[in-house]
Structure 1
Amino acid sequence: MVASGSDQTAGRVGNVIRRLSDHAAFWFKAFAQPAIDLSLRTHPGQLTRIVESPGRWLSQDELEKLVAQLRIVAAKTLPANELTYGIFPGERERLSRAIVTLISEEDSGRPIAFNALSVMQVELDGAPVDVTHLGLVMVDPDARGQGLSWVLYGLTTLVLFLRDGLRPRWISNVTQVPSVVGMVTATFSDVYPSPRPEARQSFAHLQLARGIMRQHRAVFGVGEEAGFDESRFVITNAYTGGSDALKKTFDEAPKHRDPQYSEFCARELDYERGDDVLQIGRIDLAAARAYLFEQVPHGSLPGLLVASLFLGLQRLVLPVLHWLDDDRTFGTLRPRQERGR
């Protein structure tokens, strides 16, 4: 039996409504709970989970299960005895500062990719600021080429940016991979260094880079003996602090489709010695807009736009309503007169 045109149309409308409902529920949960633990269908047959600070609140069993899923993905590219870097040991203290984005097959539950971000506190102009380090990204070789980059490199930072009320947020990235250099440059604002002609090192960039290299080398597995070229933001001899197994030759490093990023890395980095570039940028309104319209697949865009509108109402309109309502308590706001008096 062949479905009629009206049945097919109804089915498509139903699918769209379900996807919009999923996205609305995703964003509502993102701002209705203190720590993020959200799941969203970002690709057909795939489920993306974002977990903030799992070391603070997950039970030991849940934490071990999450780390085991990350190790399954990593084991596809690294020997088991090399999984000692960053979050792989499963230490609660380190996982308390992490934000994990995990993509799994929806039916089987098999993990296929993850990104482990870390939040670092660094001093800027005499005051502490949070810098979101993009962290370690790994993809199962069998799942590469499925368009996962927009989730792994942008979705979680977008969630954090929107949850913070659209306040600009500093990000950092350490890599020797041309494709990653290009992805970060294309996703975020004011990124330095990059091969783009408008890239400039500001004093803010320099302060943050100095603070990161002074206080947070362990976050990205760089030893104390590694050098740092402040003029180029290049970490020399970077693979000596736990990330040794991630070192690549230039030929092994995945290339970006735009050749300028490969040329930039070949020119600036000594791959035999093991150099990395430290990129610093921001997610702001311009970056969020560019991400939504240039990197998010068209099929996922409507849901994200509706969710963003829903979020805007929640973040901008609700506080005004709470302020004007003088009969009920909202957080630190107290009623003008207590009921019953």
Structure 2
Amino acid sequence: MIDPDNRSKGLVWILYGLTVVIMFCRHRLKPIWISNVTQVPAIVGLFSEGFDSVYPDALKDSRRTFDHISLVRQIMLNHRHMFGVGHEAEFDEKSFIIKNAYTGGSNNLLKSWDEVAKHRNDQVNNFCSERLDYNRGDDFIQIAKLDFFNLQRYIIRVVPIKSLAMILNNIILVILQSILLPIYYWFKSDTSTMDLKPGR
């Protein structure tokens, strides 16, 4: 949650975007799946804009795939406590809406429609207001994929120009680390690399 006085100051890409970029690079630029749980239209829209294969997508019709269903089932089965959703909450597998979501210790995060940050695109705001019951405390759970081309578009569109050099340096460092560290540990005789090379 960003303080209203500090919104529109480029903090979103640091809190969300930079984290995702680093995860993607540590995964050696292989596609990764990302989830988002929120009732805030501004975040629903940001997620819909930023990634591919988003479901549910507030900006365009999207198809619910087997990957989406498999991932969301695992999240709701094993990780709902991580984002404060209690066992009393119901999950609608068709719409990907968690009904009565604020029952697992996240009560203080519940906001009314008037309190949530709106998106600049009214299509997103209408999408949320028509589907979520803010009095009951509903959340969307969105699933999306991030790949290399999607990352390029994200950096060009979202990252401030003055921060491009910094983030590119971080990307290069993370990539080099993922390449060089395994080589270093391979030749380090007192370090085990599991089945490939037992430690001495």
RMSD: 2.4
Pick from 66, 73, 78 the counterpart of residue 210 of structure 1: 73
The residue aligned with 2:84 is: 221
Query: Where in structure 2 are the equivalents of 1:158-237 lying within 5 Å?
Result: 158-237=21-100
Structure with more helix by fraction: 2
User: What secondary structure does 1:228 align onto?
Assistant: strand
Flag the 1:174–1:314 CA change in 2: closer, same or farther, 3 A: closer
The residue aligned with 2:150 is: 287
Superposition deviation, residue 148 in structure 1: 0.5
| CA deviation map 1:221-265 (0-9, x unaligned) | 111111111110011111222111211111211111111110100
Structure 2 unaligned blocks of 5 or more: none
The separation in 1 between residues aligned to 2:60 and 2:51, in whole angstroms, is 15
The residue aligned with 2:117 is: 254
Counterpart contact for 1:193–1:199, Cα < 8 Å: yes
Flag the 1:174–1:319 CA change in 2: closer, same or farther, 3 A: closer
Superposition deviation, residue 312 in structure 1: 4.1
Flag the 1:223–1:299 CA change in 2: closer, same or farther, 3 A: same
Letter in 1 for 2:126: E
The residue aligned with 1:154 is: 17
Structure 1 unaligned blocks of 5 or more: 1-137, 335-341
The separation in 2 between residues aligned to 1:311 and 1:216, in whole angstroms, is 28
The separation in 1 between residues aligned to 2:114 and 2:39, in whole angstroms, is 11
Letter in 1 for 2:18: L
Letter in 2 for 1:222: V
Greater Cα radius of gyration, structure 1 or 2: 1
Structure with more strand by fraction: 1
The separation in 2 between residues aligned to 1:312 and 1:217, in whole angstroms, is 32
Superposition deviation, residue 283 in structure 1: 2.3
The residue aligned with 2:138 is: 275
Flag the 1:219–1:314 CA change in 2: closer, same or farther, 3 A: closer
Flag the 1:329–1:241 CA change in 2: closer, same or farther, 3 A: closer
TM-score by length of 2: 0.85
Aligned residues: 192
Counterpart contact for 1:153–1:184, Cα < 8 Å: no
The separation in 1 between residues aligned to 2:145 and 2:107, in whole angstroms, is 28
The residue aligned with 1:239 is: 102
Counterpart contact for 1:189–1:286, Cα < 8 Å: no
The separation in 2 between residues aligned to 1:188 and 1:251, in whole angstroms, is 27
Query: Where in structure 2 are the equivalents of 1:1-341 lying within 5 Å?
Result: 138-313=1-176, 315=178, 318=180, 322=183, 328-329=187-188, 332=193
TM-score by length of 1: 0.52
The separation in 2 between residues aligned to 1:266 and 1:141, in whole angstroms, is 21
The separation in 2 between residues aligned to 1:199 and 1:176, in whole angstroms, is 19
Flag the 1:309–1:262 CA change in 2: closer, same or farther, 3 A: same
